[in-house]
C-alpha cells in the first residue's frame, strides 16, 4: 500500500510517498481502508519534530473509511462498517490499523469525507466548549483563527450554547466566513488591535474565556482580554511556540486560569468519545453544524497541503484522498 512517511523531521519536503506492506490488526485492533484523511496542525508538529516520534513514521491523526478486518477480541466494530476516528497516528495511508475502541460508526446520511473532516476539529471544539471551559448562555468568548476549521466549529457550538462570540482573523473574506458561522463581532488583527477591540466590545470588562490555537503572536496579549478569573485556553501553536510564563503574571492580571489541553485527555474513554463524536456527527447530519471542506489533495500533493495549511491559505478543512478512494 502507499503511505506518506517522514524519515527525517523538517519541512514539507520531508514527506515521502512510499510503498509498505498492508498492516495486520492485532488484538483489539481493526484494519481500516482509508477513504479520506484529515490534515491538521498536529501533523505539522510531528513532521517538524515539535512532537516526538521515532522515524520513519507515517503521518496523520484522523480519517474515515471502511473496516476491512478485525483482530481478536474486537466488539465495537465489524468488517464492512463505515467508521471514523481521531488521535491514532498513521492515517496518511491507504490502510491503517486503529484501536477498535477509538472507532465511531458513521451515520448512513453522512459521507466519509465529511466524517473525516469532522472528527479531530469537531471533538476539539466540543471539549473546549463543553468541558475545558463549559460555556453558558450569556458568557463571552474570544476565538482566534475563527475562520479556520476548528475556529468555525467553536464559533457555531458557542452560539448553540448561547454565548456571545468575538473572533479574530486576517482578512475580510475570512471574517465573513466566521460571521456566517455566527460570530457576533469580527476583529481583523492585520488592521486592528484585538485587545483594544475586545475591551471596547465588553465595556472594559474582558471576555470570560479565550480559545487560542495560534500561540506566540496572540498568547500574551490574549491574557489582557480576560476578565478577572477568566480562562486562557491555549490548544495549539500554529503561529509558534509560546514562551515560558511566570505564574505571578496570572495573579497580577486578575487571578486568571491558564490551561494547555489536548483531545487525547478529553476522549480517554469510549464513553466520552461516543458522547463527543456522537454529538458532532448528529449535529452535522441534522444541519445544525456546518463544515467547510476547503481543499482536497491526492497523496502525491501532501507536501503542498502542508504548505497551504501553514501559510494560512486555507479557510476550512483540508483532506488527503488516497488514489482510487
Domain boundary among 217, 233, 260: 260
Q: Is residue 191 part of a domain?
A: yes
144 in Cβ contact with 151 (< 8 Å): yes
Distances (CA, A) of 14 to 42, 56, 67, 189, 285: 16, 11, 30, 32, 37
User: From the centroid of its chain, how far is CA 1?
Assistant: 27
| CA dist., res. 116 & res. 38, Å (int) | 6
Task: Answer yes or no: do 186 and 211 share one domain.
Answer: yes
Going by C-alpha positions, the residue among 150, 154, 177, 201 that lies closest to residue 309 is: 150
Task: Answer yes or no: do 256 and 226 share one domain.
Answer: yes
pLDDT, position 324: 73
Task: Answer yes or no: do 140 and 255 share one domain.
Answer: yes
Task: Answer yes or no: do 39 and 82 share one domain.
Answer: yes
Q: Is residue 217 part of a domain?
A: yes
pLDDT, position 175: 94
Q: Is residue 130 part of a domain?
A: no
Task: Answer yes or no: do 254 and 146 share one domain.
Answer: yes
pLDDT, position 238: 86
List of residues 6+ apart from 34 with CB closer than 8 A? 63, 64, 65, 91, 93, 94, 95, 96, 322, 325
Task: Answer yes or no: do 74 and 102 share one domain.
Answer: yes
Distances (CA, A) of 136 to 159, 197, 227, 268: 10, 22, 15, 24
Q: Is residue 168 part of a domain?
A: yes
Task: Answer yes or no: do 150 and 221 share one domain.
Answer: yes
Task: Answer yes or no: do 247 and 178 share one domain.
Answer: yes
CATH number for position 203: 3.40.50.720
297 in Cβ contact with 127 (< 8 Å): no
Q: Is residue 131 part of a domain?
A: no
| CA dist., res. 239 & res. 53, Å (int) | 22
3: which 3 cell numbers? 503511505
CATH number for position 282: 3.90.180.10
Task: Answer yes or no: do 26 and 83 share one domain.
Answer: yes
94 in Cβ contact with 1 (< 8 Å): yes
The SS3 of residue 169 is strand
Q: Is residue 33 part of a domain?
A: yes
Domain boundary among 260, 282, 298: 260
Can you give the pTM of this predicted structure? 0.93
91 in Cβ contact with 63 (< 8 Å): yes
Domain boundary among 229, 260, 291: 260
Q: Is residue 246 part of a domain?
A: yes
List of residues 6+ apart from 114 with CB closer than 8 A? 284, 291, 293
Q: Is residue 281 part of a domain?
A: yes
Q: What is the mean pLDDT of each run of 10 residues along the chain (325 residues)?
A: 96 96 98 97 94 95 98 98 97 98 95 96 98 98 94 97 97 94 95 96 98 94 97 93 94 98 96 98 95 92 95 86 84
Q: How many domains does the chain have?
A: 2
Containing domain of residue 234, as a range? 136-260
The DSSP line for 5-54 is EESS-SSGGGEEEEE-PPP---TTEEEEEEEEEEE-HHHHHHHHTSS--P
Task: Answer yes or no: do 160 and 210 share one domain.
Answer: yes
Task: Answer yes or no: do 155 and 238 share one domain.
Answer: yes
Task: Answer yes or no: do 212 and 317 share one domain.
Answer: no
221 in Cβ contact with 194 (< 8 Å): yes
Amino acid at each position: 500500500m502507499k503511505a506518506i512517511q517522514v524519515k527525517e523531521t523538517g519541512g514539507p519536503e520531508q514527506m515521502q510517498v512510499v510503498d509498505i506492506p498492508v498492516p495486520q490488526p492485532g488484538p483489539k485492533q481493526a484494519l481500516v481502508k482509508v477513504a479520506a484523511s484529515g490534515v491538521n496542525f498536529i501533523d505539522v508538529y510531528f513532521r517538524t519534530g515539535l512532537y516526538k516520534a521515532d522515524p520513519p513514521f507515517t503521518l496523520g491523526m484522523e480519517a474515515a473509511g471502511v473496516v476491512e478486518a478485525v483482530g481478536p477480541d474486537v466488539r465495537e466494530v465489524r468488517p464492512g462498517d463505515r467508521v471514523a476516528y481521531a488521535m491514532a497516528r498513521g492515517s496518511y495511508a491507504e490502510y491503517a490499523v486503529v484501536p477498535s475502541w477509538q472507532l465511531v460508526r458513521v451515520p448512513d446520511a453522512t459521507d466519509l469525507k465529511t466524517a473525516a473532516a469532522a472528527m479531530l476539529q469537531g471533538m476539539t471544539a466540543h471539549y473546549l466548549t463543553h468541558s475545558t471551559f463549559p460555556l453558558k448562555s450569556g458568557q463571552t468568548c474570544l476565538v482566534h483563527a475563527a475562520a479556520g476549521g476548528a475556529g468555525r466549529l467553536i464559533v457555531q457550538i458557542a452560539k448553540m450554547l448561547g454565548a456571545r462570540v468575538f473572533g479574530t482573523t486576517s482578512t475580510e473574506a475570512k471574517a465573513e466566513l466566521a460571521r456566517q458561522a455566527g460570530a457576533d463581532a469580527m476583529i481583523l488583527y492585520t488592521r486592528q488591535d484585538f485587545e483594544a477591540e475586545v475591551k471596547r466590545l465588553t465595556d472594559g470588562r474582558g471576555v470570560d474565556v479565550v480559545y487560542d490555537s495560534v500561540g506566540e503572536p496572540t498568547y500574551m496579549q490574549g491574557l489582557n482580554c480576560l476578565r478577572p478569573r477568566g480562562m486562557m485556553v491555549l490548544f495549539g501553536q500554529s503561529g509558534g511556540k509560546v514562551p515560558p510564563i511566570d505564574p505571578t503574571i496570572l495573579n497580577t492580571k486578575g487571578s486568571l486560569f491558564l490551561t494547555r489541553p489536548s483531545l487525547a485527555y478529553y476522549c480517554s474513554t469510549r464513553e466520552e468519545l461516543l458522547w463527543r463524536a456522537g454529538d458532532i456527527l448528529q449535529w452535522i447530519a441534522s444541519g445544525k453544524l456546518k463544515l467547510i471542506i476547503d481543499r482536497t489533495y491526492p497523496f502525491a500533493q501532501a507536501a503542498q497541503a502542508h504548505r497551504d495549511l501553514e501559510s494560512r491559505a486555507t479557510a476550512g478543512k483540508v483532506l488527503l484522498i488516497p488514489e482510487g478512494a
